[in-house]
Amino acid sequence: MKVTVFGTGYVGLVTGACLAEVGHSVMCVDVDESKIENLKNGQIPIYEPGLESIVKSNFSEGRLKFTTNAEEAVAFGTVQFIAVGTPPDEDGSADLRYVLKVAETIGQYLNHEAVVVTKSTVPVGTSDKVRAQLDSVFSTRDVSVPYHVASNPEFLKEGAAVSDFLKPDRIIVGTNSSFVESAMQELYAPFNRNHDRLMFMDVRSAELTKYAANAMLATKISFINEVANIAEYVGADIEQVRQGIGSDPRIGYQFIYPGCGYGGSCFPKDVKALVSTAKRVGYQPELLEAVESVNGRQKERLFDKVNNYFNGDLKGRTFAIWGLAFKPKTDDMREASSRVLMEALWQAGATVKAYDPEAMQETQRIYGSREDLQLMGTKEACLSNADALIICTEWKAFWAPDFEFIKSSLNEPLIVDGRNMYNPFRLEEMGLKYIGIGRSN
């Protein structure tokens, strides 16, 4: 099948490359010329396991094309995905400028029957706006082209996006058209072989499904973080509580790991957007607002713990930080807890020596060079002359460090563990002081 994908960001590129990987013919289009040139040369703008190799192989085999020519791109696909950015406005609602611009472009150039699919995470009602935009452009043209609008939200996790796309739990399609249903059946047939993963529903329900899924997961995280904070006050250990509740299949073990808050490009943005949608239609989303504020507070807890330990005397101190990305296996620093921590430490007059397996360049890009930030080449190099080690991201490389080395390198043998990676009792036996999340050891 011939597919056009507008936007070569995270969602667009993964979608395009994976559809090409299963045999479709895909043209990815972007307004950014240097990005398209780099992609043609095999340079991938993001770090995502497995993506580079499928982009390169499908490009060289001719199934994946890159262009900046919108007219050529619109002429190409029977399915036209809109996968451009929807950055949050000041009030948290998604800015649809780029989505609607693509709809306008499709309306200008489309001359064959096609399905226009919104893949970007967009507020409920956006597909109707896309349709209205197409209608209005077509009304100025002297042609009659049947086109269909659908919503097909993505549920990709960063760090696992390629495998999530190739092995989806479900494929949600919002539509009321039989043309769309058969086009989507054909498009997704390669992912649908063992059991039917396609779920057709009305457009608005599909749009809301995406927000509901992310808001539910964010709620689980804020819930466990809140209980972790209570555990600290009442002298309980959240890790035992987590296992105790996770064993109930109605609760489950997933997404109840306490920590220093959720970050990334999806949860913070999507919870805010759903809050803003709800308020706009006159509903007060109390639970979702609490999910967000609990998370904001949780991101401050690492600093609070360090600050309490040193009785507010952080000026001139140095802290080692392991892990800067919002989660392992990505270089993404958007809404990362490490940023809240580092910025608070700097505000208090402390210096940071940090290491992350992938996000060093991104950290440099965000903060530039500053005297109070030293980016180190190894995790060990952060430790010397540091007053404590603080962990923000649970990279595998941090799972089993040489604790004796940590102890002998730090000025103060203190580990503040924002992801509860270590066993407090074992560390204490070794003479290390340990502060985790929700652990009243």
As a whole number of angstroms, the distance between CA 68 and CA 119 comes to 19
Q: Residue 327 or residue 379: which is nearer to ligand UDX going by CB? A: 327
Nearest to 414 by CA among 426, 427, 397, 401: 427
Dist CA 336 CA 259 (whole Å): 12
Largest CA distance in the chain: 80
256 binds ligand UDX, rule: CB under 6 A: yes
Q: Decide if residue 434 touches ligand UDX (CB under 6 A).
A: no
To ligand UDX, the closest distance from the beta carbon of 163 in angstroms equals 12
| Residue 326 or 434 with smaller CB distance to ligand UDX | 326
Q: Of the two residues 401 and 418, which places its CB atom closer to ligand UDX in the complex?
A: 418
Q: For the CA atoms of the chain, what is the radius of gyration?
A: 24
**By the rule CB under 6 A, 97 interacts with ligand UDX:** no
Beta bridge partners of residue 120, listed in sequence order = none
Least separation, in Å, of the C-beta of 229 and ligand UDX?
14
C-alpha pair distances (Å), 228 with each of 223, 259, 401? 9, 9, 25
Closest separation in Å from C-beta 31 to ligand UDX: 24
Nearest-approach distance from CB 393 to ligand UDX, in angstroms: 7
Least distance to ligand UDX, CB of residue 134, Å: 26
Task: Dig out the tokens for 295 from the structure.
Answer: 């998370």
Residue 114 in tokens: 């096609």
Q: Which of 76, 81, 155, 434 binds ligand UDX (CB under 6 A)?
A: 155
Instruction: Identify the residue among 77, 107, 264, 413 touching ligand UDX (CB under 6 A).
Output: 264
Between 326 and 355, whose beta carbon lies closer to ligand UDX?
326
- Asked if residue 211 binds ligand UDX (CB under 6 A), the reply is no
Taking the C-alpha atoms of residue 404 and residue 357, their distance in angstroms, rounded to an integer, is 22
Residue 266: active-site member: yes
Least gap, CB of 154 to ligand UDX (angstroms): 6
Report the residue number, 155 or 310, with the smaller CB distance to ligand UDX: 155
Cα 147 to Cα 168: distance, rounded to the nearest angstrom: 27
Nearest Cα neighbor of 253 from 225, 229, 230, 224 is 224
Distance CA 98, CA 95 (A): 8
Using rule CB under 6 A, residue 262 touches ligand UDX: yes
Answer yes or no whether residue 259 interacts with ligand UDX by CB under 6 A: yes
- Distant-in-sequence, close-in-space partners of 294: CB < 8 Å, separation ≥ 6: 222, 225, 226
10 binds ligand UDX per the rule CB under 6 A = no
255 binds ligand UDX (CB under 6 A): yes
Cβ-based neighbours of 27, under 8 Å, separated by 6 or more: 2, 3, 4, 5, 65, 66, 67, 72, 73, 76, 77
4, 80, 93, 214: which one contacts ligand UDX (CB under 6 A)?
A: 214
Choosing from 28, 266, 382, 392, the catalytic residue is 266
Active-site positions? Answer: 266
Q: Which residues bind ligand UDX (CB under 6 A)?
A: 154-158, 214, 217, 221, 255-257, 259, 262-264, 266-267, 326-327
